[in-house]
Structure 1
Amino acid sequence: MFRVLCLFAAFKAGILLDSGMLFPQESSSREVKELNGLWAFRADRSPTRNQGFQRAWYKSRLAETGPVIDIPVPSSYNDVTQDPNLRDFIGWVWYEREVVVPARWISDGKTRVVLRVESAHYYSIVWVNGVKVTEHEGGHLPFEADIDGLLREDPTTTTCRITIAVNNTLDLHTLPPGSIQYMKDRTMYPEGFFVQNTNFDFFNYAGIHRSVLLYTTPKAYVDDITVVTDFLDSTGLVRYNVSIQGATLVTLKVTLIDKDGHCVVSSNDTSGVLKVVDVKLWWPYLMHENPGYLYSLEVRLNAADGTSTYEDVYSLPVGIRTVKVTKNQFLINNKPFYFHGVNKHEDSDIRGKGFDWPLVVKDFNLMKWLGANSFRTSHYPYAEEILQMCDRHGIVVIDESPGVGIKDIRSFENASLTHHLEVMDELVRRDKNHPSVVMWSVANEPAAEMPPAGFYFQLPMWMSSV
């Protein structure tokens, strides 16, 4: 049943959250180092699942704490071994990889080094060289930490040890919610045996599901970009806002570039409206002979702090389109749009929810073969690379939060609402600029008939800005 609570994606100008979550990219000022591949892995099989913290596994090489196995990242750990206990494991698992950091990143004090995890399910804690650098609640969305200061504590070494502990336990206040049930029948179950109960109809895959990477920016850098697009007759309007970190006195050049590499319009302000003559609109697949047209918004920053100068360059794909809803129609660029599509999952054999480019490309070929123009990210946010594909191919997206299986009245309590709002903030922060995203799905088939649901789904705070 397709019964969701949705909001269409039309933003007021100037919506900026505390910090940006721009997709890492290489440019003349930025580098990216992917850490995908085989990681050392160990599940904490102690009765309390807490031995790793009690014995501080993060303080030494994971192999020194006990037996480890190879696990690929990205992937779910559930299906890559022949161990049935690992397939259904609930609790803390530990990942580790030693990484060689380019020496110039450490020696250059003007460089910021960021460790980013694109997705780990569900609760994650990250250490670098035994020092905790960040933690994050919730799967499916990225989180990151600046680690350059930590790396420079010992400039004689370029090797760092990254440890990530991940816990897939779901309770009444996680998103999605769940519950742990201890089995008390000693004729059937051993002491302390428990199972994870959920109210959704798909497997609760776990692990590091998307890329782990290091990337760099200058110390003064472009932190976030927000674009809101419109058009009037043949003139496109790109309302933009650029957020800068690390400097207060900067010079900026913002340039909109077409697909042929030509400058269309430029500005020297951190915010404003770019007017595009003879605009090429972003159209969905099968609605136009040239669907998915994208401009590139290049932001070039120059800054100085008295002793050093900085330059940062970031390019954001921009599709110029409008989204409107009338009493009986959904309009894209003022034309009726009909959702002919599917509800997808990221699941696949062996990989679980692990990101895999061949599978992504195959899915897009299948959708086009079906004549589909859209899909819903049931029932959680998908990898941003998938949304980038949608932008390029003109596939329309209903972008869904992990709010599936909200059936217990206790899952409408304040703790759940606070976390749900945080997840929606993270989702909007990541996906707000994708022209393919036309709607946010707040929840899938919640128990909306329960008395607390009315207040819960008013979604105060961030909703007032949409």
Structure 2
Amino acid sequence: AAWAALGPLLWACGLALRGGMLYPRESPSRERKELHGLWSFRADFSENRQRGFEQRWYRSPLRESGPTLDMPVPSSFNDVGQDRQLRSFVGWVWYEREVTLPQRWTQDLGTRVVLRIGSAHYYAIVWVNGVHVVEHEGGHLPFEADISKLVQSGPLSSCRITIAINNTLTPHTLPPGTILHRTDTSKYPKGYFVQNTNFDFFNYAGLHRPVLLYTTPTTYIDDITVTTSVDQGTGLVDYQIFVQGSEHFQLEVRLLDQEGKVVAQGTGCRGQLQVPNAHLWWPYLMHEHPAYLYSLEVRVTTQTAAGPVSDFYTLLVGIRTVEVTERQFLINGKPFYFHGVNKHEDADIRGRGFDWALLVKDFNLLRWLGANAFRTSHYPYAEEVLQLCDRYGIVVIDESPGVGIVLAQSYGNRSLQHHLEVMGELVRRDKNHPAVVMWSVANEPASFL
């Protein structure tokens, strides 16, 4: 009964957040520019870790503040350099990147330019050309800022992106932690402190996932929510689409099979598509053709002084059902047994930095093992991981970063509110993945407290 009540609560948290978090995909109306590669980097080793703010490092190029390092993005900063202080550094670090923008992005006022950060562990503050644009708490989920006005305000063809990140964990963060101050001056230097945690993996930090810019028209598809069911062989795809930028538009929806054939279509922001003799999304090794994905093509068109302008977005959809009985877990009405593992995103040198080669190797190992599932222990994984799960039929237990919750201070309203926000962001990001069949709120919390 408790789990039955929790599911709708988590779903409501995800839908209540302002704005969508669709994965940035290129389309006839959308472009993206990856910002991976080398960024300028500097850790703030001052005693109070506040020198960067006191001297306003975001107001001018970071190199003018003092010595910087080349830091690859995405990666954790901990093991890249040769300075042992970086390995266990706690406090503020600063990243910076100068970006050259396409001319149409800076001159076309009908183009919306968005900065998206896939993951910044743990608390991040972002400036563009010295102007504060967004802050975010939580180290494993994406966040965005519309920077159109900043890059379209003059003759500039480039912009400077500055990101300050603090990896400090407190009793109210997810995961939680504490700071231990070592006061024995016979053993430790003055002001020495360490991060204490109650989980069994390293607290890697930095820009762990892709940072990118993408564009949309000013009237754009902001979010899509899809749920699926099956009625006597007919697949039912219920959709709800949110549009921002105008209240006057036309919206068309088409569902295509893997051969590109249109199998259903509709209009309007909400509706149901019916697919006779639907190919169902099955887990790996549970069907001879597992992980069948349809393409939901959405087009919104608005009239402007220059004529009609459209935004296009394609969402991959797997038609499947999930049901839990007293004794069984059912996918598409058949018993499913979780054969799998707990994973981590850690790797040598790059830490928790996203790496396609490592990811594909992991999936080859999973399938070689005959595994059909894993849990994202103990934090949300990169969006690209879930995309491969959808593609290969690997079932996912999608876990929040609620691990090591053993302190009494972590059970108050402040921690609860942050936990709900994180779960809301997780559901908002991952709600449409057919591979995700379960949400994990926390790992082994000391709930008796």
How far apart, CA to CA, are the structure 2 residues paired with 1:67 and 1:232? 64
How far apart, CA to CA, are the structure 1 residues paired with 2:15 and 2:37? 37
- SS of structure 1 residue aligned to 2:159: strand
1:61 corresponds to: 61
How far apart, CA to CA, are the structure 1 residues paired with 2:27 and 2:131? 30
How far apart, CA to CA, are the structure 2 residues paired with 1:409 and 1:250? 51
* Kept in 2: contact 1:6–1:439 (CA 8 A): no
1:385 corresponds to: 384
* Kept in 1: contact 2:11–2:424 (CA 8 A): no
State the one-letter code of the partner of 1:138. Answer: G
- SS of structure 2 residue aligned to 1:285: coil
* Kept in 1: contact 2:221–2:242 (CA 8 A): yes
Segments of structure 1 that go 5 or more residues without pairing to the other structure are 451-466
* Kept in 2: contact 1:330–1:338 (CA 8 A): yes
Q: CA 1:6–1:288 in structure 2 vs 1: closer, same or farther (change >3 Å)?
A: farther
1:150 maps onto 2:146 in alignment: no
Give 4+ residue runs of structure 1 displaced > 3 Å after superposition.
Answer: 4-12, 14-17, 305-309
How far apart, CA to CA, are the structure 1 residues paired with 2:70 and 2:262? 48
How far apart, CA to CA, are the structure 2 residues paired with 1:129 and 1:194? 34
Q: CA 1:7–1:331 in structure 2 vs 1: closer, same or farther (change >3 Å)?
A: farther
- SS of structure 2 residue aligned to 1:443: coil
1:443 maps onto 2:423 in alignment: no
- SS of structure 2 residue aligned to 1:300: strand
1:421 corresponds to: 420
How far apart, CA to CA, are the structure 1 residues paired with 2:354 and 2:87? 18
1:140 corresponds to: 140
State the one-letter code of the partner of 1:434. Answer: H
How far apart, CA to CA, are the structure 1 residues paired with 2:268 and 2:280? 24
- SS of structure 2 residue aligned to 1:85: helix
* Kept in 2: contact 1:8–1:323 (CA 8 A): no
Q: CA 1:177–1:195 in structure 2 vs 1: closer, same or farther (change >3 Å)?
A: same
How far apart, CA to CA, are the structure 2 residues paired with 1:168 and 1:96? 17
* Kept in 2: contact 1:179–1:198 (CA 8 A): yes
How far apart, CA to CA, are the structure 1 residues paired with 2:5 and 2:44? 39
How far apart, CA to CA, are the structure 2 residues paired with 1:429 and 1:422? 10
2:214 corresponds to: 215
1:314 corresponds to: 313
State the one-letter code of the partner of 2:409. Answer: R
How far apart, CA to CA, are the structure 2 residues paired with 1:83 and 1:107? 43
State the one-letter code of the partner of 1:73. Answer: V
1:26 maps onto 2:26 in alignment: yes
State the one-letter code of the partner of 2:118. Answer: E
How far apart, CA to CA, are the structure 2 residues paired with 1:91 and 1:308? 51
2:280 corresponds to: 281
- SS of structure 2 residue aligned to 1:321: coil
Give deviations 1:217-245, integer Å, cap 9, x for gaps. 00000000000000011100000000000
How far apart, CA to CA, are the structure 1 residues paired with 2:442 and 2:312? 37
- SS of structure 1 residue aligned to 2:105: helix
What's the TM-score once normalised by structure 1's chain length?
A: 0.93
Q: CA 1:126–1:55 in structure 2 vs 1: closer, same or farther (change >3 Å)?
A: same
State the one-letter code of the partner of 1:30. Answer: R
Query: Which of 211-220 and 80-89 deviates more?
Result: 80-89
How far apart, CA to CA, are the structure 2 residues paired with 1:7 and 1:172? 24
Give deviations 1:13-56, integer Å, cap 9, x for gaps. x9564210000010000000000000000000000000000000
How far apart, CA to CA, are the structure 2 residues paired with 1:217 and 1:60? 29
How far apart, CA to CA, are the structure 2 residues paired with 1:268 and 1:207? 43
User: Aligned-pair distance for 1:252?
Assistant: 1.0
User: CA-atom RMSD, angstroms?
Assistant: 1.7
Give the count of matched residue pairs.
445
* Kept in 2: contact 1:26–1:32 (CA 8 A): yes
Q: CA 1:371–1:167 in structure 2 vs 1: closer, same or farther (change >3 Å)?
A: same
State the one-letter code of the partner of 2:274. Answer: K
* Kept in 1: contact 2:339–2:371 (CA 8 A): yes
1:75 maps onto 2:75 in alignment: yes
Percent sequence identity over matched residues?
A: 64
1:99 corresponds to: 99
1:191 corresponds to: 190
How far apart, CA to CA, are the structure 2 residues paired with 1:227 and 1:311? 21
2:224 corresponds to: 225
State the one-letter code of the partner of 2:410. Answer: S
How far apart, CA to CA, are the structure 1 residues paired with 2:150 and 2:241? 28
- SS of structure 2 residue aligned to 1:444: coil
How far apart, CA to CA, are the structure 1 residues paired with 2:432 and 2:312? 18
State the one-letter code of the partner of 2:333. Answer: N
How far apart, CA to CA, are the structure 2 residues paired with 1:31 and 1:298? 17
* Kept in 2: contact 1:5–1:444 (CA 8 A): no
How far apart, CA to CA, are the structure 1 residues paired with 2:416 and 2:5? 16
Q: CA 1:67–1:47 in structure 2 vs 1: closer, same or farther (change >3 Å)?
A: same
How far apart, CA to CA, are the structure 1 residues paired with 2:18 and 2:52? 33
Q: CA 1:22–1:127 in structure 2 vs 1: closer, same or farther (change >3 Å)?
A: same
* Kept in 2: contact 1:40–1:95 (CA 8 A): yes
Q: CA 1:81–1:15 in structure 2 vs 1: closer, same or farther (change >3 Å)?
A: closer
* Kept in 2: contact 1:22–1:430 (CA 8 A): yes
State how 1:7-406 maps to structure 2 within 5 Å: 15=15, 17-154=17-154, 156-305=155-304, 309-406=308-405
Q: CA 1:417–1:5 in structure 2 vs 1: closer, same or farther (change >3 Å)?
A: farther
How far apart, CA to CA, are the structure 1 residues paired with 2:4 and 2:161? 39
State the one-letter code of the partner of 1:57. Answer: W
How far apart, CA to CA, are the structure 1 residues paired with 2:268 and 2:55? 53
Q: CA 1:165–1:375 in structure 2 vs 1: closer, same or farther (change >3 Å)?
A: same
* Kept in 2: contact 1:11–1:228 (CA 8 A): no
Segments of structure 2 that go 5 or more residues without pairing to the other structure are none
User: Aligned-pair distance for 1:144?
Assistant: 0.5
Query: Which of 251-260 and 297-306 deviates more?
Result: 297-306
1:453 corresponds to: none
- SS of structure 2 residue aligned to 1:425: helix
User: Aligned-pair distance for 1:5?
Assistant: 12
* Kept in 1: contact 2:404–2:445 (CA 8 A): yes
Q: CA 1:195–1:11 in structure 2 vs 1: closer, same or farther (change >3 Å)?
A: closer
User: Aligned-pair distance for 1:8?
Assistant: 6.4
How far apart, CA to CA, are the structure 2 residues paired with 1:65 and 1:78? 21
